[in-house]
Structure 1
Amino acid sequence: MTHPTDSSALKQDHWLKRYYFTRALFSIVWVAAAIVIGSKSPVIAAVLLVLYPAWDAAANWVDANASGGLQANRTQRINVWASGLTTLAVCLALTAGMNAVLGVFGAWAIASGLLQLGTALRRWKSHGAQWVMVLSGAQSALAGGFFIAQAQKADVPSIVNVAGYAGVGALYFLISAIWLTVSLSRRKKASA
């Protein structure tokens, strides 16, 4: 991996650090709300389940635009659409029950995980902490398969099933943010 030192590359690394911290914070708050409030209130659970892919769509859109635009970031452009369509699919699935919702989340986790993996591989040479995003994308795709399998069972899942997935995602984003923070600090010391 190369460590760019020009100001635009450093600016992009600072952006990614803030972006990863923001994604981690959102996911941590979402998980807490899902466990504390959503597990007791079906209405709040429904709102949170719709909010999660909508947030992902918005976050990917913002990141792509801050990283050269949607045209330059094909995997994120596709992820924006996939997450947006998932938001609508979750709204529809809520009328059929939590098994359907978990099935939608499973399909989305597979697609968005593979797209995140593609984005991380594209960024690998120019930015640090991408190994964590590679792991996160792969884990997301695997979790999606698990969700689909769970959705086929007679047991009715709850928002807590999705909260575990979101919690692991938060951990990956937090590790990436910390990794970039350390990397940027080391580069600053090396150039001083």
Structure 2
Amino acid sequence: MDSTITAPAPLQGDTAALRRLYFVRFAFAAAWAALLFATARTLSPLSATLLVSYPLFDVACAVVDIRSAKANRGPVRGLYANIALSTLASAGLVAAAASGIPAVLRVWGAWAVTAGLVQLVIGVLRRGRGMAGQWPMILSGAISVLAGASFAAQADMADASLSALAGYAFLGGVFFLVSALRLMRAESTG
């Protein structure tokens, strides 16, 4: 993880690109959660496709985020870690979908814990660089760690379902929306 705390303050384009990315992430999470919630009781081909697509979308967003951060001399190591974790999660979810909902919950839980830790660190580093809108990302990362542990615990329950994953994704999307709005406010006052 990048420990550079003395990096220059983010440029206007950096926060604008991040704000747009956060709005896109909110829209995707909301739509994805609605679709998964509608199919949450069984592990169908549609729900399996949705499960694998979410971490792949996360990879694509991290790539966009890296391009913006590099252009503005920002830290990117945590984003590379996120790409690796999300890629592994997608592969793990492909395998887990063949085994059933409990296996999916375990893989998703492990991904939520590790990705949450990375998001927490990235948010703290960006906050340290003076970038606005990071408190929701920090809180979201911490909640992700706790949620991931609960998914693993739910996997052992007789009535395990994917509905908690839909709620998790939607809540994560709301945190992206709040961060986007905070960045927009910071841009207008900055």
Match of 1:167 in 2: 170
- CA shift, 1:126, in A, is 2.5
Where does structure 2 lack aligned partners over 5 or more consecutive residues? 1-7
Match of 1:67, SS state, is: helix
1:56 is aligned to: 58
Measure how far apart 1:161 and its partner are. 1.8
Deviation, 1:20, is 0.7
The 5 Å alignment of 1:46-125 reads: 46-68=48-70, 72-124=75-127, 125=129
Match of 2:22 among 20, 23, 26: 20
**Conserved? CA contact 2:43–2:100, under 8 Å:** no
Aligned AA (2:101): M
Are the counterparts in 1 of residues 29 and 173 from structure 2 also a CA contact under 8 Å?
yes
1:149 aligns with 2:153: yes
- 1:66 Cα shift? 1.7
Q: Is the 8 A contact 1:39 1:45 kept in 2?
A: no
Q: After superposing the two structures, state which structure 1 stretch, 27-36 or 81-90, moved more.
A: 27-36
Asked whether 1:136 is paired with 2:115, we answer: no
Question: d(CA) in 1 for partners of 2:75 and 2:138?
Answer: 20
Distance 1:153 1:41, change over 3 A: closer
* TM-score between the two structures when normalised by the length of structure 1: 0.87
How many residue pairs match? The answer is 181
Tell me which structure has the larger Cα radius of gyration.
Answer: 1
The residue aligned with 1:29 is: 31
Deviates more, 1:163-172 or 1:7-16: 7-16
Identity %, equivalent residues: 36
Could you tell me which residue of structure 2 aligns to residue 181 of structure 1? 184
**Letter paired with 1:170:** G
Gaps of 5+ in 1: 1-5, 188-192
Match of 1:44 in 2: 46
Provide the TM-score with structure 2 as the length reference: 0.88
- Of 40-49 and 136-145, more deviation after overlay is shown by 40-49
